[in-house]
Copies of this chain bind each other. A is one copy, B any other.
């Protein structure tokens, strides 16, 4: 019994502060509501009493009343991955700066967890859900919309009415990558990808292959494993083991690229870019490490995130699909263009 009471009544409410300060409860509410009309004297009294009693506005109650939770859900899998982690770091930081609160929902493991994640977001009356991996069920998305929730899909190619779909222009980047390898004088060009690639990643592959077809070049394709360094290691080993060993590789992901580079260097004694040109995608921090010096594409994260925030914080009822150009970051994993082509 006594436990019940103590665990129930221990919260300090606005009315407690009001009593202590000798003012009305609404004055307390107004004191903590920006733009509300309170006299300076009562405001001071309220603030003092709140300080003494340790009062803090209960945002659960406040959100319930105003039907504005201020929460934004971030739904992602494999958030320990360099690029994903960077995205989440920047997103959470900017959301914080915009006065929003980020709810992180990790969907690693089962793919169906995206549904559960969205259900959780709905039940907390999240103002928006930013989905970095996977895609929701359309009917569930409708429920989101009818609750006034915004939806953002990052790096997904499927149509999704009512939501913002944003990401880099993967196809164009793939084309650029091919042309760069070609112009670097590569004779045997390869593509390496993971076998669980998302639609965004597949677009990079498509763009690359399209450009190859247009140039009349045959591309060596090696696909294996999940998107990871380990997969890159395996792919690289297979590639270097081939009789027609490639001298230029486009990896759909920096992690794979690092694996390929290490396979070539550590297992075959090949150097980059002298023996093998490599291009990646994502511009993860490790791409800049001196051991890799990876030429790659930087996703326009700043622009993507700004657009996300704009979408989440303003009224945007319609559908929108945005493709932003990826920036080609030229480092030193691709053979420099020869002025006079040999042979």
Taking a contact as CB atoms under 8 Å apart, the answer to whether A60 and B125 are in contact is yes
A67 to B5, CA, bound (A): 12
Interface residues contributed by chain A, number (CB under 8 Å): 64
This chain's copy number in the assembly: 2
Produce 1/0 per residue, A130-154, CB < 8 A to B: 0000000000001100111000000
Q: Closest chain B residue to A9 by CB distance?
A: B67
Q: Which B residues touch A205, using CB under 8 A?
A: none
Interface-lining segment among A81-89, A245-253, A306-314 = A81-89
Chain B contacts for A74, CB-based, 8 A: 104
Residues of chain B within 8 A (CB-CB) of A105 are 92, 96, 101-102
Q: Which residues of B contact A258 (CB under 8 A)?
A: 289, 291
Contacts A59-B123, A124-B101 given; does A289 touch B229 at CB 8 Å: yes
Contact yes or no, B124 A59, CB < 8 A: yes
| Chain A positions near chain B (C-beta within 8 angstroms) | 7-8, 10-11, 54, 56-61, 63-64, 67, 69, 74, 78-82, 85-86, 88-90, 92-93, 96, 101-106, 108-109, 119-120, 122-125, 142-143, 146-148, 229, 233, 258-259, 261-263, 265-267, 285-286, 289-292
